[in-house]
Amino acid sequence: MKVTKQRQILTLEESNLADATKIGYRCVLKQFFRNSTITSYDELIKVPNEELENTLVDYCKFILHKVRQGKLSPNTVPKMFKPIKYVLGMNYRENDVRWRPLESLFPPEVRRSGFRAWTTEQIQEMIDRCSGANISRNKALIHFMASIGGRIGIHEYPLLMRHLIPMSSNDTQNMDCYAVLLYAESDESAEEKDYRDSSSDVVSGDSYWGFLTPEATKSLKRYHGERQRCGEMLNDDTSIFRNVFCALRPSAKIKQLSKPAVFSLFNRIVRKTSIKRFQKGRRYDIQLLHGFRKRFNTIMKLENSVNANIAEKIMGHKNGLDGVYFVPTRQQCFKEFVKGIPQLTIFELERKQIEIAHLKEEKLENESSREKLDTIQEDLDKIKQWREISQKYDKNNSNFEQ
């Protein structure tokens, strides 16, 4: 008699989801187990179909009650079921639930708030209000977020010194900038990323290049210099931003600044300013970190000379089929980023210095062009003289033959 082997239960830990997604899914599942008759992972997989459907309907009604009380956004309801559906699908049970009747209970989405961007003046005030032992780090972090226009999720991935690459070229007035590899794995190097971006037979990964303005680069170097002066040794595996810093113990428990720590830090900084944000539902009109991203997006999109597809790449957007087949190099992305540097720069003094450097470059280009024109004119004059001499010589020869 053949013995049927019981099917294994697959867990979230065995899935190929990103670590941050796993953490989020586990949190949502814990809420489900705490507020429903299904109390464990194993029970979710083994519960009979009809009981599973009834439990999900009861849980949906429980969530809808929280929405009516204003404790939960209507837009969050589908997200409360996504991990459940994913776990059931992993264990061949997704089709055991009739999802359409359940989803018909979901409330309609509401228009999201958080549509405004931070202004340059507001970011100036944030930087000016930084204080305390970590003042240089906090200033550098504000410049960093304003310059790259990244999501808060970048702080869930390694941000190491190996991911920081100097960028400077003659076509950009010798600007001192940094390229930053975002969403990279800890062992992913700039060389590896550049190779994948330049290979026609390799699809680019989820990591992408962000860039720091000269102003942001200067602030970051000042912060790193402070750490080095206090005895910290910076190498490829050192975090760009560390959690705490003590001058007496510079190498004690060095950890990367985490996503919750970054959020808390910005929250404290904004509370010290005169900036007023208005809350609508569970969100503010200016999102704490996403407000930098909206500012960056607006500046790059309004700069007409910037290549639109490359602007999307610098934002980390997939951008449809172009996201797969269009893979610009780091240098090409940087060339487009440079066009937005004057508007991305926070302080007027830094902006004026960029303008002066640009005018000097234009002057040199004009002088070089003038020299070229003078040389060309001299060549033309010589050719003209040669032709006149040649014509005179031909005429004399013709008269002599006659």
Mean pLDDT is lowest, of 197-201, 278-282, 304-308, for 197-201
Tell me the C-alpha distance between 337 and 276, whole Å: 31
C-alpha 210, offset from chain centre: 6
* CA dihedral of 314, 316, 317, 319, whole degrees rounded to 10: 50
**Residues 2-9: what's their mean pLDDT?**
65
Residue 78 is given by DSSP the state: H
- With beta carbons less than 8 A apart as the criterion, state whether 198 and 326 touch: no
Amino acid (1-letter code) at residue 311:
A
Residue-range domain boundaries for the chain? 12-103, 120-346
Residue 87: what pLDDT?
A: 92
List, in order, residues 6 or more apart from 302 with CB less than 8 Å away.
Answer: 343
| Per-residue pLDDT tens over the stretch 103-142 | 999 998 876 656 789 999 999 999 999 988 789 999 999 9
β-sheet bridge partners, residue 164: 180
Residue 203: what pLDDT?
A: 45
- With beta carbons less than 8 A apart as the criterion, state whether 347 and 244 touch: no
The model's confidence at residue 94, banded by pLDDT at 50, 70 and 90, is confident
CATH number of 120-346: 1.10.443
| Per-residue pLDDT tens over the stretch 230-269 | 888 899 999 999 987 666 666 667 889 999 999 999 999 9
Residue whose token pair is 């060339």: 335
**End-to-end Cα separation, the chain, in angstroms:** 125
Whole-Å CA distances, 171 to 202, 334, 339, 344, 350 = 29, 11, 11, 19, 19
Amino acid (1-letter code) at residue 201:
D
| Per-residue pLDDT tens over the stretch 199-237 | 544 444 578 899 999 999 999 999 999 999 888 889 999
Confidence check: pLDDT of 305 > 90: no
Using a cut of 0.85, tell me whether the model's pTM lies above it.
Answer: no
Confidence check: pLDDT of 156 > 90: no
Tell me the C-alpha distance between 148 and 171, whole Å: 21
Q: Name the most confidently modeled range: 290-299, 304-313, 355-364.
A: 290-299
As a residue count, the chain comes to 402
CB hemisphere CA count around 56 (13 angstroms): 29
| Per-residue pLDDT tens over the stretch 329-368 | 889 899 999 999 999 999 988 888 877 777 776 677 666 6
β-sheet bridge partners, residue 160: 239
Residue 202: what pLDDT?
A: 43
- With beta carbons less than 8 A apart as the criterion, state whether 309 and 319 touch: yes
